[in-house]
Structures are given as C-alpha cells and as structure tokens.
Amino acid sequence: MSDIIVVGAGLAGLCAARTLQRAGRRVRVLEKTGHLGGRVWTRQHHGYTMDAGFLGMFTAYPAAQRQLDYGALKLVPLLPSAVLRQEGGRAEIVGDPRRDLGALPGDLTAQALTLRDRLLAGKLVAELLTQAPHVWLNGPSQPTREFLLEYGFSPRSLERFFTPFFGGLVLDRALMTCSGLFKYYFSLLVRGDVAIPAGGMSEIPRQLAQELEVQRETVVSRIDAREEGVTVHTDQGSLQAGTVIVATDPPTAARLLGEGHAPARPIDRGSLGSTYLHYGVDRRLERQPRLRLNALPDGHLNQVFWTGQVFPGRVPAGHDLLIASLWGIPDGTDTDLDTRTRAELRVWLGDRVNQLNLLHVERIRHTQYPQPAGYARTLPGQAGSHPRLYLASEVTSLSGIQGALESGEKAAAAILGDVQVLSRPRGA
C-alpha cells in the first residue's frame, strides 16, 4: 500500500509526486499512456524529433524556475520576435529589438501597427515592469480586446498583431480571454525568453520523474474514498492508498472526483483543442529561425516554425522539419488537413510546398481551457470531494506549464500542511 497514489503523469502530477516523495512520503504514479508529460512530450520518427503540444516554455515562469534545472535541460531560447504573415504572403518581422536587432526595421515599418500603436506598446511595457507579473494576473479582469481598445490600440493592431501573438497563444481569435492573463504573459515575455530543451519538450517531464516510480499504461476507471483509505480501480487491478491526487486532464478529473451537475467551481471548464502537422524536407527551403504567425483573420493556420534551423540535432543531416499548428481540431482526415494546410502554405512558400513530406498529424483535444474575463473567481481548489482526495491540475490556476507546476506544488502542500506554499499568489 502506498501512502499516496497520483493519477496522471503530466507536469502537475509529477511535480506533486516529487515534492511529496522528497518530503518522505511513499508515492506511486499511475499513467494511462506509455509516455510522461501529458500534453508535453516528444516523439521520434525516422530521425526527426517532434514535439507535441506546447512548442516552448516561458523561462520567466516562477514555478518552472523553482522546479526545473534549466542548465540540465539545455534550454535553447527562441528569438524574441516573430514573422507576421499578411495578405499575399507578405512578411513583417516584429519583436524585441533589444535582443533581436533583426526585428528593428519591422518594428519601425510594419503595417500591422500604427505609430500610435508603437508608442502605446512602449508605454505598456514600461507599466508592466513596475509590478511583478503575478500582480497583473490577479488584478482587474476584462476581455483583452476591450482592454486593448480602451488603452488606445487601433482595431487593425488587434487583428494583425495582438490576435496572432496573444490569441494564437491562448487559442482565442476573438481576444475575449482575461486581460490579466494577457498582461501576465506580456510581462513574462519582456522579462525572459521562450525556450525549448535541446532534446525536446519531453526532457521537462523526464527531469521531474527521475526519482519517481511511474506505472505506465494503467487506466484508472474509478476511485472509491472511505474513512479508512482509498481504493483506485484500474485495468490492472485495484490499488490501495491513504491519499489520492487526481492529476489528469480536467474532463477526466471531473469524472474521477465525481463532480456534480453545474458546480460553482467546475473542474471541467471546457476544452480548446489544436492540431499540429509535422513536415519533413530533405533540404533547407528557406532561412528563417523565427516563429511565423498567421496575421490574417481567416484560414486555419495558426503558427509555423522551422524546427531544424534552431535545433539541427533534431533532424537528419541536411534536412529540416516544419511544424504547422492549426486553430482547433478541423474536421477531415489527415489527407484533408494536409491538402488545406499546403494550400495556405503555398502563399508563403510558393511551389516549394511540393517538397514537404507529411510525417505526422497530432490532434490534441484538450490543449487549454477557456479563460475568459473573470474566470479566476470560479477556479476550484486543491481539495477533492473527500478529505482523502486532492486535485492537481492547471484548472486551479491558469492553463499551461506554470499552472500545471503550480498546482502540483499546492496539491502537495495541502497534504503536507505547508501554509507558505498554499498562500502563494496565483502565478507567483
């Protein structure tokens, strides 16, 4: 019998399990798939290393700084700029000229931003630097679109810059996401980098799991909590524990914890999905190490990135790897999605698109959950439906790596009675 069973080997579950094990508890982790990390993982395919899910991590995430050894991860920072793709494939490079001089001409001339927009952006950055990022996250909340317009930004900048930049990050083309979250991410970008481990995003969960016992390919069907202990029913048999932490995706967590109809603080808050198409090519088609963003209000392309140009060790010698992320989970077969994606990429690449070889299509049904204005008021806590049950999930904080790690810390703290960690502000 384990002291604690953690259901789910995503970042939240692994963080909670490692914290508890280091505190002297006997911990066992159950994972339904054959890999660690949940949505943060990496696959190998004919010499290509391909990340699924999150394409990068903010190095300024406070929880990541506490939990991860950045040096051991061999983080490779991406350029703090992006290529905005406009009508007819026209490209405008915008970014932080302090760290990427190549972005300076575009910052001065990009049609996506007016002169007033540029001045306002500088003013906003200066304001964000006056407070810690978590202060903005937990401050006043309104739709990001409303905030930006009230601040004075032009409608064109919202469509051609803020939607591909922030909307693409939170999967919200309407920019109805909480303005506190916008300020939080913008503040983190100013303070740090977006980086990826040289070996792929799977290095993050692998580092967290080094000290842990993880039982993979074990599906949990039901959890029965009683005064004397908890029984976890799996397809491999039943297990006993004193305490259970549920650290699965939110819909599964809601089911396992017995969430009722229309709860005041729901665990299952809906899902925003995304799709990733991975293309191999046997020669470099262009030299562009920056992330490309679709700045048009239509189409299904979201972001495009040439992985091999930043990570040459993740592709066969002389080859390159293109990752195209799409808005949502479009209907259709892999062939259908490939055809539509190539049609949009043709505007960017011309006939060179014919040299792309589709390697894999990844559909992630739950990439994030919706985070509209005021969403934080109804977030659930770490306590489950029974005193022996706990929740470790991004739905207790914010969607993404920070929220997952933070929730793992707090679920462990709830069990250990660590008031200092429990009282830490969201996003801090």
Cα–Cα nearest to 218, from 234, 241, 233: 234
Q: Is 40 annotated as a binding residue?
A: no
| Rounded Cα distance, 169 and 56, in Å | 11
**From CA 424, how far away is CA 69, in angstroms rounded?**
21
DSSP secondary structure code for residue 41 in this structure: E
Environment class of residue 270 by beta-carbon count within 10 Å: exposed (0-12), middle (13-18) or buried (19+)?
exposed
User: Which amino acid does the sequence have at 25?
Assistant: R
Q: Give the E-state strand segments of 121-271 in sequence order.
A: 194-197, 214-215, 220-226, 229-234, 237-246
Structure-block tokens of residue 249: 């995706």
Long-range pairs for 39-44: beta carbons < 8 A, 24 or more residues apart: 39/10, 39/364, 39/366, 39/367, 40/10, 40/11, 40/201, 40/202, 40/204, 40/205, 40/401, 41/201, 41/202, 41/205, 42/199, 42/200, 42/201, 42/202, 42/203, 43/360
Joined tokens for residue 230: 């908890």
Q: How far is CA 354 from CA 15, 172, 233, 344, 351, in A?
A: 44, 31, 50, 12, 6
Binding residues: 220
Binding residues for FAD: 220
